[in-house]
Amino acid sequence: MVNGTAGVLATALDYTRLGRAELGERIRERKRALNAVVLGHNYQRGEIQDVSDFVGDSLGLSQAAADTAADVIVFCGVHFMAETAKILSPGKQVLMPDLRAGCPMADFVTGAALRRLKTELPDAVVVTYVNSTAEVKAESDICCTSSNAVRVVESIPAERTVLFVPDRNLARYVQERTGRRNLVAWDGYCYVHDDRVLEELEQAKRAHPGALVVVHPEARKELLDRADAVTSTAGMVEYAEEHDEVIFGTERGLVDRMKQRFPHKTFVALSGAAVCGNMKLNTLAKLAWCLDHGRHEVVLPEDVRVRAERSLRAMLELSGGWTAPADEESALELAAVRPGGCGCA
Ligand code: SF4
């Protein structure tokens, strides 16, 4: 049982032995005691989303948490996402249930490696996908999401070289959409979206001949070329609202959630293997432990945070800056029933 203080608890409790209801009650109690909000990314397990105050993508979640009066933010996602929350909420404590939950795509590029390439391309404008570390954002001129990447690149004068970091697939998609030749792509990718699942696509189409195919721009060109639509995670939610039979090329956690929301529709995951194991490192037991012990805290050097915030705000300025949305609009966006952001990010 909780000791009655909001501080660290000295327990030798085996959280894995607690049932879902008991863990849920403990989490709710600790959220109240700590004045904490729990953010559950779209790709989190259902039981984590059920106890989350907000569900959505990393940027939308980080903005929502910044707009609350909470003292503590618990981010159930991967490491760069918790960093984004910290960038936008420097005065709040940001916690993660499992520090090992990193993003292999974000880890394709480090601040040091980016600094080296910048010395070779001194005139390039660095456009960084939000699925990146704070250190890399701090080295960037402007961030982008999968929703706005085309618009961000179009905003850069045509004569300037664009260095696009870290997703090569999103970079290629942007290059095709903008016709921009002077774009240099970092060679990173997301292992969940980069699978060449053409055979699975043909099987799914045979099984569901009337279904439309929607694919995330982090996927390979061969898949994008066969899709009826290419869009971000938030865009996929809109697509799910508008169509009755869809094959989704993205992380299957989102597909499962759409099936729950629209049980009368036919939604199919393009690949059963499209599961982000990093995201799934977070569990209800770890979330309860995290709230009980005030760990693991995500901290950033202030100079890195400030420079990273600058590149994020440069992107937000393109769409008129970031102001707190009206309550109703915010709730719709965060429930992912209105497009508001990016892909996994
Ligand atoms: S789905 Fe891909 S981009 Fe998102 S956290 Fe997992 S590895 Fe990173």
pLDDT of 233 reads 87
Here the tokens at position 277 are 């194991």
CA 294–ligand 1 middle distance (angstroms): 25
**For residues 124 and 130, what is the distance between their CA atoms, to the nearest angstrom?**
18
Top-confidence residue, 175 or 12: 175
CA 192–ligand 1 middle distance (angstroms): 6
Nearest residue by C-alpha to atom 4 in ligand 1: 344
CA 184–ligand 1 middle distance (angstroms): 22
Do residues 8 and 277 touch, judged by C-beta distance below 8 A?
A: no
Nearest Cα residue to 61 out of 69, 53, 70: 53
φ/ψ (deg, to 5) at 275:
-125, 130
Instruction: Pick the range with the lowest mean pLDDT from 149-153, 158-162, 227-231, 233-237.
Output: 233-237
**Other C-beta atoms lying within 10 Å of the C-beta of residue 1:** 8
**What value does the mean pLDDT take over residues 8-31?**
89
- 84-102 pLDDT, tens digit each: 999 999 999 999 999 999 9
CA 8–ligand 1 middle distance (angstroms): 31
- 253-268 pLDDT, tens digit each: 899 889 999 999 999 9
The structure's pTM equals 0.90
* Test site for ligand 1: of 81, 191, 255, most ligand atoms within 8 A of the Cβ: 191
CA angle 27, 329, 87 (to 5 degrees): 60
CA 320–ligand 1 middle distance (angstroms): 28
Nearest residue by C-alpha to atom 2 in ligand 1: 190
* Test site for ligand 1: of 131, 186, 254, most ligand atoms within 8 A of the Cβ: 131
> Which own/partner contact pairs does 265-271 have at CB distance under 8 Å and 24+ positions apart?
265/240, 266/208, 266/211, 267/240, 268/204, 268/207, 268/208, 268/211, 270/197, 270/200, 270/201, 270/204, 270/213, 270/215, 270/223, 271/195, 271/197, 271/200
Model confidence band, residue 322 (pLDDT cutoffs 50, 70, 90): confident
**Other C-beta atoms lying within 10 Å of the C-beta of residue 305:** 19
CA 163–ligand 1 middle distance (angstroms): 21
Specify the DSSP class assigned to residue 249.
E
Specify the DSSP class assigned to residue 326.
P
Residue 56, pLDDT > 70, answer: yes
Residue 325, pLDDT > 60, answer: no
Nearest residue by C-alpha to atom 8 in ligand 1: 103
Ligand 1: nearest atom to the Cα of 344? 4
Which regions of 11-60 does DSSP assign to beta strands (E)?
36-41, 54-56
**What value does the mean pLDDT take over residues 270-276?**
94
pLDDT of 11 reads 65
| Domains by residue range for the chain, with CATH | 15-102+279-300 (3.40.50.10800), 106-185 (3.40.50.10800), 198-269 (3.40.50.10800)
Pairing relation of β-strands 125-129 and 266-269? Answer: unpaired
Q: Residues near ligand 1 with C-beta < 6 Å?
A: 78, 103-105, 131, 190-192, 251, 276, 278-279, 344
* Residue with the two structure tokens 């030749």: 181
**Other C-beta atoms lying within 10 Å of the C-beta of residue 304:** 19
**What value does the mean pLDDT take over residues 122-140?**
98
* Test site for ligand 1: of 276, 280, 281, 282, most ligand atoms within 8 A of the Cβ: 276
Give the amino acid at 289.
Answer: W
Sign of the alpha-carbon dihedral angle for 219, 220, 222, 224: positive
